[in-house]
């Protein structure tokens, strides 16, 4: 089966003030696949990820040029950022549940987008928590503060929260870097499980993680995409010497 291109990145350059953080990026992300970004610290993975739902807009002095298309539509020219972010959800490196109840955390997104009916909200909350594989864990304490959950549970709650607005793409920035192996495994299983419905892009420092779950992998270095290929190919026979050095651990 050949999937369509969900996201097209064409000649994107990004500057933080004078600093050239992304250099001429070209990349196509296919629908219903998991794409992983790997590369050493500071190479621009998070920057590219954040520019896909325009979270970089919040930072002063960011300049971006080139094109980013979601289903063929230019997200910087022809799309309202709030609509974009509803369609392209994000899970951050550090779990960041709101200081509210578990229920309110998940209901926040739909409420923001105008869902008012209690029964509809209940349904969305249950659905989202089920999709994040944590309904059974929390169904008896929906009214309790989300801050009382463990780190792994908080992160899955954030994933549930991202589901709640029914996005098409989910961006995850090192979602498991603060978690223990079991929580990590749960989230990996979850991602593989949900990719039939979502397009997923994940930044990770963990190369095993990339090989375990991703279909495509992009290797970043100094703001450039050095190599972007099917995960299997990239890890078994990298075309570029730098990629090879990095994945074999001979780098930096």
Partner 1 sequence: MELVNAEKNLRKRKLISLVLKAGVWLCGIMTVGILIFILLFILLRGVPNINMEFLFGTYNSDTLSAFSSIVTTFEMILISLLVAVPIGVFCAIYLTEYAKRGNKAVKVIRLAVDTLAGIPSIVYGLFGMILFVNILGFRASVLSGICTVSIMILPVIISSSEEAIKSVPDMYREGSLGLGATRLGTVFRIVVPTAMPGILSGVILAIGRIVGETAALIFTSGTNVLESPTLDLFASQRTLAIHMYMLASEGLPHSKDMAFATGAILILVVFLVNLATTKLAGRLGRLGNDK
Ligand X SMILES: Nc1ncnc2c1ncn2[C@@H]1O[C@H](COP(=O)(O)OP(=O)(O)OP(=O)(O)O)[C@@H](O)[C@H]1O
Binding partner of 162, given Mg ion, ligand X, partner 1, none, CB within 5-8 angstroms per partner class: partner 1
Check residue 199 for interaction with Mg ion (CB under 5 A): no
Instruction: Report the b/e string of 47-84 with b at 16+ CB within 10 A.
Output: bbbbbbbbbbeeeeebebebebbbeeeebbeebeeeeb
Question: Does residue 47 belong to the site contacting Mg ion (CB under 5 A)?
Answer: no
Q: In what order do the strands lie in the sheet with 34-38?
A: 88-91, 169-173, 199-203, 34-38, 216-221, 224-230
97, two tokens: 């549940």
Nearer to Mg ion, 46 or 153 (CB): 46
- Give dist(CA 69, CA 169) in Å, integer: 13
Tokens of 170: 């989910």
Stretch that binds ligand X, among 16-24, 81-89, 109-117, 189-197 (CB under 6 A): 16-24
Q: Is 200 in the site for partner 1 (CB under 8 A)?
A: no
Q: Are 87 and 48 in contact (CB under 8 A)?
A: no
How far apart (Å, rounded) are the C-alpha atoms in residues 131 and 160?
Answer: 7
The partner in contact with residue 16, picked from partner 1, Mg ion, ligand X, none with C-beta cut-offs of 5 to 8 angstroms by kind, is: ligand X
Helix, strand, or coil here: 50?
helix
From the list partner 1, ligand X, Mg ion, none, partner contacted by residue 41 (C-beta under 5 to 8 A by kind): ligand X
Residues 94-113 that bind partner 1 (CB under 8 A): 94, 96-101, 104, 108-109, 112-113
Site string for partner 1, 130-149 (x = CB under 8 A): -------------xxx-xx-
Size of the site for partner 1 (CB under 8 A): 34
Write out the H or E segment, with its range, that includes residue 29: strand 19-30
Residue of 3, 11, 24, 42 interacting with ligand X (CB under 6 A) = 42
Residues at the site binding partner 1, with contacts judged by CB under 8 A: 53, 55, 58, 60, 82-86, 89-90, 92, 94, 96-101, 104, 108-109, 112-113, 143-145, 147-148, 158, 161-162, 164-165
Residues at the site binding ligand X, with contacts judged by CB under 6 A: 16, 19, 21, 39, 41-47, 59
């Amino acid at each position: 089966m050949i999937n369509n291109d969900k996201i097209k990145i064409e000649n994107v350059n990004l500057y933080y003030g004078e600093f050239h953080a992304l250099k001429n990026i070209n990349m196509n992300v296919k629908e219903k696949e998991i794409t992983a970004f790997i590369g050493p610290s500071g190479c621009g993975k998070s920057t590219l990820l954040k520019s896909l739902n325009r979270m970089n807009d919040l930072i002063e002095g960011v300049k971006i040029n080139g094109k980013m298309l979601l289903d063929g539509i230019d997200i910087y020219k022809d799309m309202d950022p709030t609509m974009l972010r509803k369609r392209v959800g994000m899970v951050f490196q550090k779990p960041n549940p709101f200081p509210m109840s578990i229920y309110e955390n998940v209901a926040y997104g739909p409420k923001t987008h105008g869902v008012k009916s209690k029964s509809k909200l209940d349904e969305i909350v249950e659905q989202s928590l089920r999709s994040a594989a944590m309904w059974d864990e929390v169904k008896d304490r929906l009214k309790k503060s989300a801050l009382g959950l463990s780190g792994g549970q908080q992160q899955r709650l954030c994933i549930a929260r991202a589901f709640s607005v029914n996005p098409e793409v989910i961006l995850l920035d090192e979602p498991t870097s603060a978690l223990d192996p079991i929580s990590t495994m749960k989230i990996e299983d979850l991602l593989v499980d949900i990719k039939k419905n979502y397009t997923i892009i994940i930044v990770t420092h963990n190369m095993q993680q990339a090989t375990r779950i991703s279909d495509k992998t992009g290797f970043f270095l100094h703001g450039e995409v050095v190599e972007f290929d099917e995960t299997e190919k990239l890890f078994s026979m990298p075309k570029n010497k730098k990629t090879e050095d990095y994945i074999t651990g001979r780098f930096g």
